Amino acid sequence: MQTLAVRGTTRQKVSDADADLDFPGLFQFYYSRIYNYLRYRVDAQEDAEDLSNTVFERAYVHRGGFDAAKGSFSTWLFRIAHNTLANYYRTRERRMAREVEGDLPTDLVTSEPSPEALVIQDEAIAHLLRSLQHLSERDQEVISLKFAGQLSNLEIGQIMGLKEKTVSVVLLRAVRRLQQHLKGDAT
Amino acid sequence: MNEQEVADFFSEQVDRMLGGQMPGILPEEGTLQELLTLAEQLAQVEFQASPAGQAAFQNRLATWFSPTQGRATSEPKSRRWDKMSGKLFALIVSILVTIVTTVATIVIAIVVVVRGVLPGVTPATPIQSPPLIPSVTAPVSPTSPSATETPSVTISPSLTPTVVPTGVSTPTLTPPPTLPGTADAVETITVIVTIEIEVDDLIPGLPPLDDDHDDGGSGDHNRGHGNDPDHHDEDNPGRDH
């Protein structure tokens, strides 16, 4: 049983045992997380939507290959997303800086009610996203899987081929490097 | 705390944060607190697909998992291959059956034709039949002087079954010319020839066969396998009776 939460609010709970019973419901449930993860890694909203469709199409075609005994549905689905993203990067050049420096993406969701706080937060998030691009592929991947995909370290390790303990260290170092970029003293 | 312990603690706090819980008591303030603040900011970043993108996804879901279209549009490859392999297997089996049937038919036809062509088997049969008729019917006839000796023939157990058919041997000998190539005809004629030889040997006073009655069509009816006491067919050495 995994608990899924966004912005401090527990949204839904899904049991892995349901994975082989309700594919439409699971697809529906994981769509936002998959899109969020992909959007962390690609510049354009359209690309993220196309990649999301590709991920779910592959998941649909290969749904017979999912074995709950081998791993959770989220791990299986995010591995497909991970591979889809790798293919995307293989066919395109390494992504460049975001198109409009300083502007927030139009598909970014914010929830702070205060307009003033919202502006401050939006600026901080825009700066955060720009700094993310300066990290290595591995750092971006572990941060995206952790915060956008909301996966456990065990699941991230299964996707990236790392041990759970190693994922903890990689995540800590990645966030540290991101912090250094944010402070402007990246090495 | 070494780096692994700090990393484990950091991950634990991030998981609590993502789970909607407040971070636990930090063992040390400072950099770790700053990292958790940054992690909180990262957790707040959420993108959302456009309404058009979401609608397209919903349409795809409806198409994939509708009871009628889903199976037809995107069936798993393994199942499709299973069906294709089954059809392919059935096709191969049907082709093999057809080939075997055809070959068997051809072989049977060849055997029948060869038997019909060989002089020692089928062609000799209709030619042999005319001179055999008097020799077979004579001892069976009740008016014949030698008929009194006929019972001695029927006494023999081995002859009892063979003599009885000789009375009807005349009609049985008629069909072979119309069916010269059939195996049944060959078998029938073989039996009749055997009867003739045995009757000739066992009935005393029976006039010998007149060679003039033989029209010489084959000229070697005595050479047939029915004449061989070992029942060995010289023309078909592999076919012993």
Instruction: Note the pLDDT tens digit of each residue in B2-56.
Output: 889 999 999 999 999 888 887 666 666 667 888 988 898 888 888 889 999 999 9
Mutation target among B42, B69, B73 for the A interface, most CBs of A within 10 A:
B42
- A105 vs B contacts (CB less than 8 Å): 47
10 Å CB burial of residue A16 (0-12, 13-18, 19+) is middle
Q: What is the pLDDT of residue A4?
A: 32
- How far is it, in rounded angstroms, from Cα B173 to Cα B176? 6
Higher pLDDT, B165 or A107: A107
pLDDT in tens, B194-236: 444 444 444 444 444 444 444 444 444 444 343 343 444 444 4
Whether B2 and chain A come into contact, CB under 8 Å, resolves to no
Strand partners, A10: A5
- How far is it, in rounded angstroms, from Cα A173 to Cα B54? 35
Mutation target among B18, B22, B58 for the A interface, most CBs of A within 10 A:
B18
pLDDT in tens, A134-173: 899 999 999 999 999 999 999 999 999 999 999 999 999 9
Whether B35 and chain A come into contact, CB under 8 Å, resolves to yes
Percent of chain B exceeding pLDDT 70 equals 39
Does A103 have pLDDT greater than 80? no
CB A44 within 8 A of CB A127: no
- B4 vs A contacts (CB less than 8 Å): 165, 168-169
CA A153 to each of CA A4, A159, B23, B185, B194: distance values in angstroms, whole numbers, following the listed order? 14, 10, 17, 89, 97
Does A18 have pLDDT greater than 50? no
Lowest mean pLDDT among A65-74, A80-89, B219-228: B219-228
Min Cα separation B91/chain A (Å): 28
CB A88 within 8 A of CB A81: no
Please tell me the pTM assigned to this model.
Answer: 0.53
Lowest mean pLDDT among A23-27, A53-57, B234-238: B234-238
- B7 vs A contacts (CB less than 8 Å): 165, 168-169, 171-172
Min Cα separation A169/chain B (Å): 5
Q: What is the pLDDT of residue B15?
A: 93
Mutation target among B44, B71, B77 for the A interface, most CBs of A within 10 A:
B44
ipTM above 0.85, yes or no: no
CA A90 to each of CA A85, A130, B47, B192: distance values in angstroms, whole numbers, following the listed order? 9, 22, 24, 90
Torsion angle in degrees (nearest 10) through CA of B192, B195, B197, B201: -160
- How far is it, in rounded angstroms, from Cα B1 to Cα B9? 10
Most confident of B114-118, B132-136, B158-162: B114-118
